[in-house]
Structure 1
Amino acid sequence: MSYDVKHMIENGKTALGIELGSTRIKAVLVGEDNTPIASGSHDWENSYENNVWTYSVEDIWRGLQDSYQKMSSDVKQQYGVTLKTVGSIGFSAMMHGYMAFDQDGELLVPFRTWRNNITEQSSKTLTELFNYNIPQRWSIAHLYQAILNQEEHVANIHFQTTLAGYIHWKLTGEKVLGVGEASGVFPIDLNTKNYNQEMINQFNELVEADKLPWKLEDILPQVLVAGEKAGVLSEEGAKLLDVSGELQAGIALCPPEGDAGTGMVATNSVAKRTGNVSAGTSAFAMVVMEKDLSKVYPEIDLVTTPTGNLVAMAHSNNCSSDLNAWVGLFEEFTQALGIEVDKNKLFETLFKKALEGDADAGGLLSYGYLSGEHMTHFEEGRPLFARSSGSNFNLANFMRTHLFTAFGAMKIGMDILIKEEKVELDEILGHGGIFKTEGVGQSILAAAFNTPVSVMTTAGEGGAWGIALLASYMNNKEENQTLEEYLNEKVFAGQEGKTMSPDPKDVEGFERFMERYKKGLAIERAAVENLN
């Protein structure tokens, strides 16, 4: 087997996917059968500077190079071969945000990530203008807010893109985005699979009085759909990615995508009536729609699959960060007692304890709002735990509360889709760290959405695997083979997963918790206003 893999690597019968997530940059190399054969990762964190969540350009490239180097070392260690070429490459990253460049390709202001809730005025104005929800995270909301703020750099913009688009551009020279990623920059026309031209015209008219030296269409990246070629790795790009100088130029790249699109691919949920939930630092549910929504909802983003089909997204800025912090506290406690406990074992033990709790988590309440939460209209967050004197305060309910609240803000958006818009779902596929402990996150999510939840055996591979699959699809698809067909036939055929149906008692308990969650938002508001 290792000889076959070695031969495959040497002959470039592989695909490489690299995704820059909120806390980890991961590189995954897949073989001809689309299963991972090597990987490498680099941990990183955003920083809060001058009231902006950001990552420095230096950290971006250092992390990218480190994850690639670790993956390439994994290849060398496992198969005794130096990685010099791959069949195709794809890059993805956390969606949205703001990266604006001048005519020399220099970044005009520090990268503003999706996590910033600093575009409320812009978001509201554009939503009303387009009659289409423009969330604060979206790139166009950041651009218009910069115009409203009369920021000096705006007149010097030559090109605006996302993190994935930036990486792709620097490695290939091509200013492009996959349609799924582009749908979080500016609304997409589902017929043309391109930016909505009518809305572009409306935007240009809106800013006419500002006398800017550019039109919106001149500074946005070109839109491509899954399967299209998006350029090749340049000589300069190869050296930038692989500092050892071994990687050869000329490798084809697929369109850069966002983490929402790669999550859909990695869970095989790009077909209609399917959905997936990605749960990590943030949480978002993606539902591939059969028809348009009846009206505009500020809680629901409308984006697309990597092939340009309509997706409704319920996105919450906060999910597992506060939960992880509490587990860290328990780890400190065990260390203080002189007991060394494996971190995975600690997570597993505490997560499983949550299944022993009361259905509604015993009257406890928490908000894991490390940052602002647009779903509940908070520009800033304060992690918060509260209980009444009559609450059933024990470890099981404590952990259950933190798992419930990790999905709380997202559930508000999903309730709109399921209860108000009557969207029908056959199943939801879960992926991300919160699902690693078997049966726990999965059963709680099934209760939250009152829908069967499946977790595939590959769920832990995540978005880096998803973008590797998109790179593989571009290179290896048969004529007229759709992405859905490719995934079903070449990737997920025979794959095993575990499905859990919602327990009626848990569904009722989660609904009671959500009543408490909504009423308690006043406590969170008071914390934001009074705790610095």
Structure 2
Amino acid sequence: MNAALGIELGSTRIKACLVDADDPSAVLATGSYEWENQLLGGVWTYDLADVWTGLQAAYADLVRQLGAAPTELAAIGVSAMMHGYLAFDAAGELLVPFRTWRNTSTGEAAAELTGLFGVNIPLRWSIAHLHQATRDAEQHVSSIASVTTLAGYVHERLTGRRVLGIGDASGMFPIDGTDYDADFLARYDRLAVLHAPLKTLLPEVLVAGEPAGELTVAGAALLDPSGTLKPGAVFCPPEGDAGTGMVATNAVAPRTGNVSAGTSIFAMVVLERPLQHVHHELDVVTTPSGDPVAMVHCNNGASELAAWVGMFQRFAEAAGVPLDVDATYDVLFREALDGAPDAGGLLAYNHLAGEPIAGLPEGRPLFVRTPDSRLTLANAMRAHLYGVFGTLALGMRVLADENVALDRMSAHGGMFRTAGVAQRFLAAALDAPVEVAESASEGGAWGVAVLAAFTASGSGTDLAAYLRDRVFTTTGSRTVLPGVDDVAGFTAYLDRYRAGLAVELAAVAAL
């Protein structure tokens, strides 16, 4: 079958997306599997057994929608949550439970490395986790044979190759050109007491368009236990969700950017020039082609909003007028349009986990109002939607102070499916036009399917040209301009939001 399969392991869903390899804008079928992280022993984690349960279930769901099981595929790509820490011994055994991007226990290591390199090393980066384990003299460190990301782990099991796309690799260790920064590697080897040079523990770095292995017999059995799928499909380099989100929104060229909203929320802006200063709110990663990107990453996105929507869905059911989840979102989002521009004085904090940009070591979701605020359903829903973008807006204002040029900002994620609501509020938060493509809700699974098709096409490494000429020629989109009242209202909301972070800190200390 001349099709490309994209698999993305997101925070709440594992998604599979099948596209025509010659026309990746044509989605043939999708499948998904819901999963959730766990807080075990103070560590946010996923059981790796669930990776394979979920991957097989998502693929089987796709096959059911397609109506026939493919015997062969032209190309496959794997994407997953960026960063985090997966350490294996020489036998390929996991040494400690997967530590996801959501953990904020690496502050000492991140601060030391930021000082050592002179660039911001965020708490969630793989090197921060490894160095914290080294600083804490964790027993497993002496047994480490390899460190990788979730996408790299899945890719290696399916192909036998220990490689990583440059975008995902840039969340493990700083990149210079098309590989890990050699000077920084040398500095780290002088600092840390490891049993081997750091680079030997890291995956090989590849850029978009380079073949990254083929589906093996064992890999085919892992993906499709029925035995129908044959080995041989070419793989693109495994990428992080940030990189595939950039592909899914056609935002890989300088002066373009995108926002990805899910369990976390982050903005990516492709840079024309290096940042002038080091900011803890900004980290520099790359596109799947290796171009530098300023990233504003927030650990908390739409999960708290989803919890409130779930409560209203249950109310509708209890009242005898049940609504499915999509209809509930649609009703509540449209209600938010009738809210006051500043959300009537209400504040919603979505911090289920710690949030470095906001200075929060732990999460305490709060809904706050003053006696003179106006508590209505419209204002409450607008406050919750604003709250999804609150911490992101703090970071984006730092980026604006760097005078970074931006011609176009795109957005993707499930919360943009209700047309003109979240998109409108994001435009207000950024004070910039926001574009949402018709394919936006497919997200990174479609993005990595496109990357797989790009590799199979043999088009070289000019990803921006491939997206422009082969993928986004017919894909429709809609753009919303920031409204004057909305911008003023969100600005007032953000001023209160910033001041109210003291309440969040008090809640962390007291609760």
Q: TM-score range by the shorter chain?
A: over 0.9
Task: Give 1:16's aligned residue.
Answer: 5
Amino acid at match of 1:198: D
Task: Give 2:423's aligned residue.
Answer: 442
| Equivalences for residues 478-517 of structure 1 within 5 A | 478=459, 480=460, 482-517=462-497
Q: Helix, strand or coil: the match of 2:121?
A: coil
Q: Name the stretch that deviates more: 81-90 or 96-105.
A: 81-90
Distance 1:67 1:336 in 2: 31
Contact preservation (8 Å) 2:433, 2:482: yes
Task: Give 1:43's aligned residue.
Answer: 34
Residues 133-171 of structure 1 deviation map (CA, whole Å, 9 limit, x = unaligned):
000000000000000111000000001100000011111
Distance 1:109 1:341 in 2: 42
Distance 1:331 1:120 in 2: 39
| Equivalences for residues 85-164 of structure 1 within 5 A | 85-164=72-151
Distance 1:216 1:231 in 2: 24
Q: Which runs of 5+ in 1 are unaligned?
A: 1-8
Q: Helix, strand or coil: the match of 2:475?
A: coil
Amino acid at match of 2:60: Q
Q: Which runs of 5+ in 2 are unaligned?
A: none
Taking only the aligned residue pairs, the percentage that are identical comes to 52
Displacement of 1:481 in angstroms is 6.2
Give TM-score, length-normalised by structure 2.
Answer: 0.98
Contact preservation (8 Å) 1:477, 1:486: no
Contact preservation (8 Å) 1:425, 1:451: no
Contact preservation (8 Å) 2:89, 2:95: yes
Correspondence for 1:303 among 266, 285, 291: 285
| Equivalences for residues 101-500 of structure 1 within 5 A | 101-190=88-177, 193-207=178-192, 210=193, 212-418=194-400, 420-478=401-459, 480=460, 482-500=462-480
Task: Give 1:6's aligned residue.
Answer: none
RMSD: 1.0
Displacement of 1:461 in angstroms is 1.2
Correspondence for 2:58 among 58, 61, 67: 67
Amino acid at match of 1:361: A
The runs of at least 4 aligned residues of structure 1 exceeding 3 Å deviation read none
Amino acid at match of 2:317: Q
Q: Helix, strand or coil: the match of 1:407?
A: helix
Task: Give 1:4's aligned residue.
Answer: none
Distance 2:323 2:7 in 1: 32
Distance 2:320 2:61 in 1: 33
Distance 1:448 1:428 in 2: 12
Distance 2:221 2:436 in 1: 38
Contact preservation (8 Å) 2:210, 2:461: no
Displacement of 1:332 in angstroms is 1.7
Contact preservation (8 Å) 2:207, 2:461: no
Amino acid at match of 2:39: Y
Summarize the Cα distance change of 1:82–1:331 in structure 2 as closer, same or farther, 3 Å threshold.
Answer: closer
Distance 1:229 1:67 in 2: 24
Amino acid at match of 1:522: A
Contact preservation (8 Å) 1:362, 1:397: yes
Displacement of 1:342 in angstroms is 2.5
Amino acid at match of 2:181: N
Q: Helix, strand or coil: the match of 1:25?
A: strand
Distance 1:503 1:389 in 2: 28
Distance 1:337 1:462 in 2: 34
Q: Helix, strand or coil: the match of 2:504?
A: helix
Distance 1:50 1:104 in 2: 26
